[in-house]
Structure 1
Amino acid sequence: MNNKTKKAICILSGGMDSTLASYIAKNDGYEIIAVHFNYGQRTQDRELKAFRDICEDLKILEKYEIDIPFFTQIGASALTDKNIDVPTGGVETGVPITYVPFRNGIFLSITAAIAEKEGATAMYIGVVQEDSSGYPDCTDLFISDMKRAINQGTKEDTHIDIKTPLVHLSKAQIVLEAKKLNVPLEHTWSCYKEEEEACGVCDSCRLRLNGFKIANQIDPIAYKAL
């Protein structure tokens, strides 16, 4: 591989966090290959649009749109099972019902296969530990264990670093960092429930809106009247 072009695979959902992580990867000098997963989530079509818009913004030439149908078969999450309501009360204890079983582990495994094929040396994922909804697959420890397993289970000359530039940031810090890097936040989508206008009351909308409020910034996407 030419030393002048180092490649990174960015897991890009179309949300604010993964979009900022992708901009950081570009800023770090990587040629980006973007990966997006359609896994039967409620806002699948809207997230896919966000992904494509952001790929255009970043001038990403190579991208993968991967379909993972079995998450809807498993269910057990409000994101993939229409029989489970997305909570809007704002108070949940333990692991939230919006947690999709081992989702990031599966995403990282598939992305590792793509990274090995493409000769990439880094994978970027926008996990946030301190200000997240309490998902067990968003922690430093989980990511470091996955990195070790991936490098153990790939060819000897494959060396992949999993980069989590946002893991210890708050949502407000993420908003400010995104502003600094001129990230087009108007193209991102975070809502768990709606695809036209964001609901403003699900966990993801609440975290996002609170981040903008603390950062003293205005969120450029449309929300339903609250």
Structure 2
Amino acid sequence: MLKMQNLSKVYRTELVETQALNDFHLEVKAGDFVAVTGPSGSGKTTFLTIAGLLESPSGGLFELDGQDVSRLSDAERSRLRNEKIGFIFQAFNLIPDLNVLENIEVPLHYRGFKAAERRRRALEALERVGLSGRAGHLPSQLSGGQQQRVAIARALAGSPKILLADEPTGNLDSQMARAVMELLEELHRDGATLVMVTHDPQLAARAPRHVQVIDGRVIDSQHLSLAAVA
């Protein structure tokens, strides 16, 4: 599904060169649920931006769904990103003037889906996250946990190959964070492939696989049995 070998990422200015990723190795298979942790500045956010085709690596191999995407043009990356990747952010990024259903339909519109198909997909995604009764509500009428569920539904509606979550519970209290994490676990049990960046060790421990990143490298990768995280 996702394969990175000897990956590097260097940011350069006239005065400074910063090595964000260095000899980075990671493979995520279809159906995996991987939690990625590391201190601030470790490279985990850079990894996520490259995995999400928002940036290109400086060197190394990056394959997504069997395709080498290391050197794609901006237009090619954008097309693949829309087709294969769903994003769940710490900030919900919902459009305040659109209702829940309309927010979910926005990325489908840009992918060229017709109105009836957009509506069908959006309603199915809302049903999957348990919010079908909130379709006509504005984001301001929802709790933080409900808004994050809408954001997850928006990511699911496009039928992505992989879901990338960046601190998905970072703006939530502990009760809402547990509810969102339980939803992600349910999606994984249903066959979704998830990669979650988190600073919370308790959340990371609930993922069947935990990867630690320090100084731009994967230094530890642990596989847990499903029974151990249930």
Please confirm whether the aligned pair reaches a TM-score higher than 0.5, indicating the same fold. Answer: no
Higher RCO (C-alpha under 8 Å, 6+ residues apart): 2
Q: TM-score, normalised by structure 1?
A: 0.31
Q: TM-score, normalised by structure 2?
A: 0.30
Determine which structure has the larger strand proportion and give its number. Answer: 2
Larger Rg: 2
